[in-house]
Structures are given as structure tokens and as C-alpha cells.
Amino acid sequence: MDRRMTFLILAILVFAPVAATLASDCSDGATEVRTSNQYVLYAQFTTNEDLGSWSFHSNCLYFIDGSANDAKMESYLKDSSVNITADDRDAIVARGTGTVVNVYDLSNYYYSDQTIYFNDSQKKAKLVLEPYNELSFFVKAGDTINLSINSAVDNMGDKVSAYYYLNYSTVYIDGPVEMSFKTSSIFKVELNLNGLYADVSYSVFGNSEPSGSATTYVVICSAITVLMLLVLVLASLKPRWSK
Amino acid sequence: MTEDRIERPRGRRESLDLGPSEPAAQDTPAPRKISLKIGRKSADSSDAPAPQEQEIFTASRVQESAGDRYESSPETGQPSAPRREISFETANSPGASPKSGGQRSVSIDLGTASRPAQQRSLDLEGGADHPVGSVGQGIDGPGSELADEEEPVKRPRGLGSILPLGGRDEDRKGTWKGTGYSASDDDAHRQVVYRIPSMMTQTMWMFMVQMKLFAKLKWTYFMLFAALLIPIAVVLASDYINLLLSEFGFVTGYSTTYIAGLLCMMPLMMGLFTSVLCGTQIPNEFKERTAYMNVSLPMSRISFYLGKYLAGFMLCLGVFVFAYGMAVAVSTTKYDLIFSDLLAESLAITIAGVFAYSATAFCIGSFMRRGSSMIPFILMSVVLPMVCILYYAMFQDSDPTWILMLPCFLCEAALGILGAQMSGSAGMIIIPMMDMTATWTMVAIGIVWGIAFLLLGMYRTMRREM
């Protein structure tokens, strides 16, 4: 191949990604999303004492094993669109001792030795669900994001407050938020969520969503690398005149 | 019988002229001496013998008292045929008289005038004008009859096509009998035209020579292996890598931050690799005395300088683009889509960074007597970033973001544009303070920086005593 052609191909391969700047679109309009920032931990217990001495924690869900709510909870673990509006606390109290209870602990953190307390018993927890649909928005450098939280309620119907961090301080979102970024940043919205999940309706402008294919870049980078290796091999070959 | 003194020309030996070939008298059985004149012969010489009058002979050496006599024996098997003799007399001193002690007389017996049909004819006249006589293989090589013909101009081949051995036409004819050199007649009598190659060609030669040196360098393969560690680590220790990246905020819902996390050590590696590859090239040339081999070649120092730099830049670029490719490929296992524009911008910044870093290291190397890969690395990856950060911290009120646009922060910018908030380098905490809206300005600064350092190093190399 002619050397000039080789240089030309090399230049195209190097600068093609630069030239091929693909514009990413911005989302607009109101969006409703179900989100959760809770780790769901699970343990099973059997009631063995008077219900009067038992206590129920606010960050836990209690279901009688095999009940309708328990089945819904199991469905929710597989499909987050299932609604969980209540647990079986009252039914557990009504049944008395010997009832098999599935306890789900909702926690903002998780570690492997985490345990769940129920009545006087303690068992090692099992992680069954991680947080999902984090409320975060990618903002490119130089862009300005406008965010409005229209509504945010948890699975029990209680209102949930939203906030974000600015210079290591908490800023609650009461109305529209407008922020500009000099670097590519992820604008993350946190929720004061005590329930299982929250349904959030929001409007956002100025953020970006990925729309490109990684395969193209893998091919381009591979081509440049192979070209460099070929030149390396070609240069290392013994020349014809070398005896 | 007449004897003429043979006078060798002062220049190159071109031909042996048999002189006018007169037909031997049929009634003169005694051998006749024909004078030989060695030298050029004009094209319009009227005494040029006709081709049919050329003599065919074989020579046998007979020692005589005053000189050597070459006595030809007829090949025709007719002893009674008239014999002719050519006499070579070489005067060793201008005042030497014929047959004196200072002379050597060489005579060649041309044998019979009749020409054997199958006998090989060898021309004596090696001039460019026309063939005249023949003398044998020892005069001008085997098959010298081909040299008399008009040979087409051939392109340089073999060694001549690789090395610039001369800028003007050069006669490479000569005697190689007994030297062990073997070549075909065509190759031996080729008319090679040597010209000084263009500057581009010289640079390409130097580029390829340096790439050959890189092919033998262990660092080259270490760097490629370091880039290859990205997918290897993710495959072998996926959970640990993800946990590590999560701790530093690289694992999010976006692939670009994940890619930036996999490339977080790039600023440090870029300083190290460019210093190793580009910072030691010129000093090693002088340390190993190989730079002086180029002095005898018609190669400009600019080509010498640029060829070596381009090889280093190309290799560094290949290594980091390879690392990018690996990171993007690994991210496809976790994410489906990427920010194409941001990745392109990051790649462009990285290319500019490689250019600036390698040019700086190459320039520093050209000023050093002994190669050190640590000095450019420490300067670009530690000292300069720390000084800039300190300056930024001291004058933060005046918002001196311009100082964070220097090329020593180009790699941080390449990661920051992808959404990273930190990097594994001296400038690890500076990314949130950087102004990524001016990335193209940073690229321009990096290119100008690189060109300036390249020119500085070139100036030094041009003035260096070799």
C-alpha cells in the first residue's frame, strides 16, 4: 500500500471519532417513575410468645407466610411494578403464636453480616432486593438542568421529600431547581424514603441520555491498535538486503 | 614490428582500445604487435575496427626476461595459421625506455585471424561509444560485452534502494574476480542512480528504524499488557473491581463514568509511558553511539528527530487507544448505550495529551546527555500538577481556572468529560474545579505546547555537536 494512503487511513481512523460527534437528545415533559433506595433484607420467624410483647418496626414489612399480601410481596421482588400497600401486622397479632412470619427489613445500607430482629429472635438477613431506578441525571459540561418534582409518595401513600447535595450540604427540593455545571456531572436526587418504594413524578430539562453505540468505538480503537501493531511487526521484519 | 607505449589514463579505467585493426598480411607469418591504448575513445574515431575484425584468442602466460608475454594459442587446431600478438607495455617510470628494467612488456598472441564460430567474444573497448576489441574476463568482469551496449536506466535495487549512498550518478563498475562476490551480469553491470531521498522518505526510514527498536523493547509489551489488564481484571475479579469503582463513584447508571473508572490510572500511566518511550530515544542514540552512524548518511537532522519522535508518539497513541478500546469493550457487558460525543471528545483530548506529553518528554530527552525516563515523568505527572494545584489553591478567589488548562491536566480532562470526579494521579482532586466547557481550548493549548517543545528539542538537536 502506498505510504501516503497509509497515512491518510491512519489520520481518518484517529480523527473520525472526533469528527463524529453525535448529538444526544434531552428528555422533556413529565416523567413518572418508581424508585427505591432501599435494600430489602429478608428473614423468616415463627411467633412463640404473647403478641402483646411484640414490637413492629417502621422500616420493616411483616407478612404471614402464604398470605395474599405475602404472595404480592414475592411478586414485587420479581416485578417492581406490583403495588404493595399494606402488610399483615394486624393479622399476625390476631393469629397468635406458631405463625410463620416473613419479615422484610428496609435499609439504606447493607453488609453481609446484617441481621433482622423480630420479637426476641435474631436471624441473619438475606438480601433479596437492591435499590433500583436511582433518580440521577447526567448533565454535560456547560449544560443547565431544570428539575421540578411534581409529586413523590411511597407505597403507603405518604408524601416523600426529595433533596440533593450541594457543596456537602443538603438542599431540599421545594420547587423548580436550576443548576449549571462546568464539568460533566451526575445530578442525583435523594429521597427521604421509609417505605418500600416511591412513585415520583418529575419534569426535567437539560440532562442528557446516552444514545450511541459502543461497538463503533471498539472497532475504531481496535483498528488503530492493529495498525500500530502491524507497523511494529513490519518494522521488526528483517530487511531484504540484510544477510 | 612496432611497439607503442601504453598510457593509462589518469581517471577511471574505461576501456582498452585495440586500435585500428588491420588485416594481417597473408604472406607475413611472423606475429605482428598491435598497439593498445587504454583510455576513452571518441565516437567518431575513424580507426575503429569493424566488428568483423575483432580478434578471438586465448592467452597463456610466458615469462620473459623483460616482462610478461601472453602468448595466445589458436583454438582452431591449425598450427600453421598465422599468429598475431598484442603487446602490453607498461612504463613504470616516465623515462623508462622500452625493454629496460623499468618496463614490463605484456604481449598477447591473437592467434589466427579466423574466428571460431562458437568462441566467446569479449570486448576490450569498454567505452560508451562503441565496442572495439576484446581481452578476456579479467579486464572488466565477466560478460563485459554487455557493458558496451546501451543499457536502460534501472531503478535502484538492493542496498542502493535503502541507503542513500550518493546524490549523483556513480559508476560502480569494477573488478570483483576472486573477491567471492557473485552476481549476475545484469546485476553487476546495472547502472544505479543514487539520489538523496526526500525528507519525507528519510523521516519514514527513521520512523521504521525506531519502530524496530521499539519492537525489541520490553516496555512496549509491558504497556500493551497493562492495557490488556483492564479486561483481564474485570473478568477475573469483577466483584472486587465493581466494589472498588463504586467506592469512588465510578459505577453509576451511565457507561461513561464506568469507562472513566476503568481508565482512572491513565494520567499516571501516560506520564510514565511517554517518558519511557520518548524521553530516552535521543540520549540512548548518543549513549550507544548509534547517532554518529547517521552522520555519514545524507539524512537531515530534522528527519532524524521527527522520525524518532513520530515512532514514539505512534506507539504511545496505540497503547492508549488500545486501553480505550478495552475499557469501552468491557463497558458493553454492563451498559448498552454510551455518550458517543463525550467519548469522542475524551478520545480527542487523550490524543492531544499523548502529543503534549510525548513532545515534552522528547524535548527534555534531547537536552540530556544521559537518558532518564523519570525526569519527564516526575515533571509532567507530579511537579507541574502540584505547582498548579498550589497556585490554584492560593489564588482561588480570583478563580484561576486557566492554570488547570495546562497540558499536564489533559488526562484529567479526558476523564472528567466522561463524568469522573477523580483520577488516580496527582491531579486527582482537581477535576471538579476544572472548566470542561473549554475542552477544545485545552486541546489547542496541548497541541501548541507539544509543537513548541518539539521545535525546542529540534533546535537543540540541530545545534548539537555530533
Domain residue spans of chain B: 2-42+51-191, 199-463
Tell me how close the Cα of A220 comes to any Cα of chain B, in angstroms.
8
* CA B26-B32-B35 angle, 5° bins: 130
How distant, in Å, are the alpha carbons of A21, A178, B111, B281, B464 from that of A205?
21, 9, 109, 52, 60
CB contact under 8 A, B324 and A221: yes
Q: What are phi and psi of B235, to 5 degrees?
A: -70, -45
Q: Collect all residues of chain A within an 8 Å Cβ-Cβ radius of residue B273.
A: none
Average pLDDT of the segment spanning A57-83: 90
Residue B60 pLDDT exceeds 70: no
- Model confidence pLDDT, tens digit, residues B411-423: 999 999 998 888 8
Nearest chain A residue to B204 by CA: give it.
Answer: A3
The side-by-side arrangement of strands in the sheet containing A198-205 is A30-35, A198-205, A144-154, A177-180
Neighbours of A12 (CB within 10 A): 12
Q: Collect all residues of chain B within an 8 Å Cβ-Cβ radius of residue A210.
A: 254-256, 335, 337-339
Residue B455 pLDDT exceeds 90: yes
**pTM assigned to the model:** 0.64
Q: Across all residues in chain B, what is the average pLDDT?
A: 71
Average pLDDT of the segment spanning A191-205: 90
CB contact under 8 A, A221 and B255: no
Query: What is the Cα–Cα distance from B207 to A155, expressed in whole angstroms?
Result: 68
- Model confidence pLDDT, tens digit, residues B266-321: 999 999 999 998 988 888 888 888 888 877 777 888 999 999 999 999 999 999 99
Q: Across all residues in chain A, what is the average pLDDT?
A: 83
Query: Which pLDDT score, from 0 to 100, does residue B446 have?
Result: 95
Average pLDDT of the segment spanning B400-408: 89
Residue among A134, A216, A236 whose CB faces B215 most closely: A236
Query: What is the Cα–Cα distance from B38 to B22, expressed in whole angstroms?
Result: 18
Residue A174 pLDDT exceeds 70: yes
Q: What are phi and psi of B194, to 5 degrees?
A: -100, 130
Residue among A134, A225, A232 whose CB faces B322 most closely: A225
ipTM of the complex: 0.71
Task: Spell out where B1-83 has E strands.
Answer: 16-17, 33-34, 37-38, 59-63, 68-72
CB contact under 8 A, A236 and B256: no
Query: Which pLDDT score, from 0 to 100, does residue B88 have?
Result: 46
Q: Considering only A50-59, A87-96, B387-396, which range has the smallest mean pLDDT?
A: A50-59
CB contact under 8 A, B315 and A185: no
Query: Which pLDDT score, from 0 to 100, does residue B172 have?
Result: 54
Query: What is the Cα–Cα distance from B419 to B262, expressed in whole angstroms?
Result: 12
Residue B101 pLDDT exceeds 80: no
B443 pLDDT band (50/70/90 cuts)? very high
- Model confidence pLDDT, tens digit, residues B193-207: 778 888 888 899 889
Q: Look-up: residue for cell 568462441?
A: B119
